[in-house]
Amino acid sequence: MTDTISASTASARSTRRDPSASRHVSPPPRARWRERAADPVFNIVAVGMLVVAIIAILYPLYFIVIASVSEPSEILNGNVWLWPQGFTLEGYTRIFSDATILRGFANSVLYTVVGTAISVATILCAAYALSRRDLYGRTFFMLLFIITMFIDGGLIARYLVVRDLGMLDTIWAIVLPGAVGVWNLIIARAFFENNVPGELREAAQLDGANDFRFFFRIVLPLSKPLIFLMIMIHLVANWNAFFDALIFLDDESKYPLQLVLRNVLIQSEVSSAGGTGALDSYAAAQRLGELIKYGMIVVSTIPLLIVLPFMQKHFTKGALLGAVKS
């Protein structure tokens, strides 16, 4: 017995001394960093390309910000490229004192909130129903959705439908025609098929839960990455939309902010930005128009820059939904 214990002890000691006999242990962080730094040429090229991409994306945004507080003459002369020149806040003063622009901002918030709520709710309900294998005719219904991705009646047919439904010059003409994005519906359907097993629904039914309770109490809490992904997609789309408002709205008091901004960019006159009053000269009007143009771009971008970072974590989880089966 003593010989057996001694042999076991010796074997354990030899195992501790022999690295090859021990279990593989991952190298410490410093060693991993050294392995990555073993190819300096690759690291330099990769970091350089990343820096160039970051500059290419961020500098246009930065230029708009400094241009909005610089004299337009300095911008035209090419003196504004790193720091603002001739600092002025006159453009922002005119923007926030103009009732038309503020009303356009409020309209955009209303259209975005209502449109996003309708789109997300519709897509989630339709996608879950289409993901149920016991839905009779689900292949036929899915085919109807997919056909709309390839065949469209065109602008005239769409306008006639909106007109005949009595939705012209109303909020519903903005939020209803494009409420259901078929591509987003396919992504949501794939998520429900891969992440909500039928066994879970059967267990809920045994506990007395009907389909509505199962959907709202179990399915939706499990679908937070999908929900936030849909919210982000439709927030950006609804906030930046202006074409439907251009076609279906006649009352300028219902114009969204993006349509007001479009008028400023095209006409480059103060009257198109909301009628801020008569000016002494055409040059002064052009100067103020440029300040308002850059300022409105900044103002229209700030809400998305504030909201989206708080949803970034969920967006990262939901970016590959439907692409890889979990």
Q: For the segment 5-45, what is each residue's pLDDT rounded down to a tens digit? A: 444 444 444 444 444 444 455 556 565 666 665 677 778 88
Burial class from Cβ neighbours inside 10 Å (0-12, 13-18, 19+) for residue 279 reads middle
Task: Give the CATH number, domain containing residue 183.
Answer: 1.10.3720.10
Q: For the segment 82-130, what is each residue's pLDDT rounded down to a tens digit? A: 888 888 888 888 878 778 888 888 999 999 999 999 999 999 999 999 9
Residue 2 in domain:
no
Give yes or no for a contact between 285 and 270, defined as CB atoms under 8 angstroms apart.
yes
Given 47, 72, 88, which residue is the final one in a domain?
88
Burial class from Cβ neighbours inside 10 Å (0-12, 13-18, 19+) for residue 263 reads buried
Which residues have C-beta within 8 Å of that of residue 252, sequence separation ≥ 6? 100
Phi, psi of 296 (to 5 degrees): -70, -30
pLDDT, greater one: 324 or 47? 47
Question: What would the two tokens of residue 6 be?
Answer: 């001694």
Q: How confident is the model at residue 52 (pLDDT cuts 50, 70, 90)?
A: very high
Whether 65 and 133 map to the same domain: the answer is: no
Whether 57 and 169 map to the same domain: the answer is: no
Given 53, 88, 123, which residue is the final one in a domain?
88
SS3 of residue 97 by DSSP: helix
As for how many domains the chain has, the answer is: 2
SS (H, E, C) 173-225: HHHCCCCCCHHHHHHHHHHHHHHCCHHHHHHHHHCCCCHHHHHHHHHHHHCHH
User: How far is residue 152's CA from residue 74's CA, in Å, rounded to a whole number?
Assistant: 47
Residue 15 in domain:
no
Whether 84 and 121 map to the same domain: the answer is: no
Residue 272 in domain:
yes
Check residue 318 and report its DSSP letter: H
pLDDT of residue 261: 78
Residue 323 in domain:
no
Backbone conformation region of residue 168, classed left if phi is above 0, alpha if psi is from -120 to 50, else beta? beta
Whether 137 and 219 map to the same domain: the answer is: yes
pLDDT of residue 27: 56
259 has pLDDT over 70: yes
Check residue 271 and report its DSSP letter: G
Whether 155 and 80 map to the same domain: the answer is: no
Whether 59 and 185 map to the same domain: the answer is: no
55 has pLDDT over 80: yes
Among 103, 111, 124, smallest CA distance to 226 is for: 124
Among 306, 297, 301, smallest CA distance to 91 is for: 297
Q: For the segment 118-165, what is each residue's pLDDT rounded down to a tens digit? A: 999 999 999 999 988 888 888 899 998 888 888 877 888 889 999 999
Count of Cβ atoms closer than 10 Å to residue 77 Cβ: 10
Whether 217 and 313 map to the same domain: the answer is: yes
Whether 72 and 182 map to the same domain: the answer is: no
pLDDT of residue 270: 44
Which residues have C-beta within 8 Å of that of residue 180, sequence separation ≥ 6? 119, 122, 123, 126, 145
Residue 217 in domain:
yes
Domain boundaries, position 59: 39-88
Question: What would the two tokens of residue 198 be?
Answer: 């039928």
Whether 188 and 60 map to the same domain: the answer is: no
pLDDT > 70: what percent of the chain?
77
Whether 129 and 174 map to the same domain: the answer is: yes
User: How far is residue 313's CA from residue 326's CA, in Å, rounded to a whole number?
Assistant: 18
Among 268, 261, 270, 271, smallest CA distance to 298 is for: 261
pLDDT of residue 25: 53
Cα Rg of the chain, angstroms: 29
Residue 6 in domain:
no
pLDDT of residue 324: 47
Phi, psi of 159 (to 5 degrees): -65, -40
pLDDT of residue 317: 60
Phi, psi of 263 (to 5 degrees): -60, -35
Residue 308 in domain:
yes
Give yes or no for a contact between 177 and 164, defined as CB atoms under 8 angstroms apart.
no
Residue 11 in domain:
no
pLDDT of residue 273: 42
Name the most confidently modeled range: 27-31, 64-68, 205-209, 312-316.
64-68
Whether 99 and 76 map to the same domain: the answer is: no
Whether 70 and 130 map to the same domain: the answer is: no
pLDDT of residue 113: 93
Given 29, 55, 88, which residue is the final one in a domain?
88
189 has pLDDT over 70: yes
Range in 50-64, 214-228, 262-276, 291-305 the model is least confident about: 262-276
Predicted model pTM: 0.72
pLDDT of residue 316: 61
